[in-house]
Chains A and B, each alone.
Chain A
Amino acid sequence: DSGVTQTPKHLITATGQRVTLRCSPRSGDLSVYWYQQSLDQGLQFLIQYYNGEERAKGNILERFSAQQFPDLHSELNLSSLELGDSALYFCASSVAPPGLASNLYNEQFFGPGTRLTVL
């Protein structure tokens, strides 16, 4: 158990709908990352938050957004869903702050993921 929790575990919805995925980081971790894992795209970084602020963006679509709340949990909102959005969405957390980037040892702890199926 990594200490990172994600809900729901599975989500099935229809095209055009909107869903919210939730993540609670490990106790004490201020950084939260969202990743998407699909068969054709592999594991891709979407977005990072640190202590409530967005710090880095990856291959995140405009239809997707995220936020991190004062209690440090994070939500990933996916709207106008398309079939191609079906994937595993992982949240990860770490203690290392951004900005110092790759100079710090930064183990990321991953949640079990949310499997999204868009029909």
Chain B
Amino acid sequence: GEDVEQSLFLSVREGDSSVINCTYTDSSSTYLYWYKQEPGAGLQLLTYIFSNMDMKQDQRLTVLLNKKDKHLSLRIADTQTGDSAIYFCAPPRGRNNAGNMLTFGGGTRLMVKP
């Protein structure tokens, strides 16, 4: 999406940490989401962060939010081969919009090598 930018590809070795970055332009979102798309499947919510937080940790996942720079990151610790997927960051559209659809970044394809 034109308002959300992500790098296209990330390759890591099993056991390493992965960091997926996202920058966005619309800063009015209260919640910012990370979705995961496994091969041949639809998207599913992985985690989210509330906009007044700087960090959220959820088991192997750490989300960092820098509101000033409009930068969101997802860190996966001890990356496993099962983490291989496409990861999308998704801040919703602004509150002036009557809907609450998600604006997705282009997605980062994470490849985990054994």
Interface residues of A (CB under 8 A from B): 2, 4, 31, 33, 35, 42-45, 48, 55-56, 58, 90, 92, 94, 96, 98-113
Contact check, B93 vs A101: say whether CB atoms are below 8 A apart. Answer: yes
> B73 at interface (Cβ–Cβ under 8 A)?
no
> B53 at interface (Cβ–Cβ under 8 A)?
no
Looking at the assembled complex, report how far the CB atom of B44 sits from the nearest CB atom of chain A, in whole angstroms. Answer: 7
B contact residues around A103 at 8 Å (CB): 30, 95
- Other A-B contacts than A56-B97, A104-B100, 18 sampled, CB-CB below 8 A, are A31-B100, A35-B104, A44-B1, A45-B104, A48-B101, A55-B99, A92-B42, A98-B99, A99-B98, A101-B96, A101-B97, A101-B100, A102-B30, A102-B92, A103-B30, A104-B30, A110-B42, A113-B42
Looking at the assembled complex, report how far the CB atom of B97 sits from the nearest CB atom of chain A, in whole angstroms. Answer: 6
Task: Please give me the residue from chain A that is nearest to B4 by CB atom.
Answer: A42
Contact check, A90 vs B98: say whether CB atoms are below 8 A apart. Answer: no
Contact check, A56 vs B42: say whether CB atoms are below 8 A apart. Answer: no
> B102 at interface (Cβ–Cβ under 8 A)?
yes
Looking at the assembled complex, report how far the CB atom of A99 sits from the nearest CB atom of chain B, in whole angstroms. Answer: 6
With A2-B44, A102-B31, A102-B95 in contact, is A96–B101 under 8 Å at CB? Answer: no
Looking at the assembled complex, report how far the CB atom of A103 sits from the nearest CB atom of chain B, in whole angstroms. Answer: 5
Alpha-carbon separation in the docked complex, A113 to B42 (Å): 6
Main SS of the interface on chain B? loop
A contact residues around B104 at 8 Å (CB): 35, 42-45
Looking at the assembled complex, report how far the CB atom of A46 sits from the nearest CB atom of chain B, in whole angstroms. Answer: 9
Contact check, B1 vs A96: say whether CB atoms are below 8 A apart. Answer: no
B contact residues around A56 at 8 Å (CB): 93, 97-101
A contact residues around B105 at 8 Å (CB): 42
Alpha-carbon separation in the docked complex, A99 to B28 (Å): 14
Alpha-carbon separation in the docked complex, A94 to B72 (Å): 23
Alpha-carbon separation in the docked complex, A96 to B24 (Å): 23
Contact check, B107 vs A2: say whether CB atoms are below 8 A apart. Answer: no
Task: Please give me the residue from chain A that is nearest to B88 by CB atom.
Answer: A43
Contact check, B45 vs A112: say whether CB atoms are below 8 A apart. Answer: no
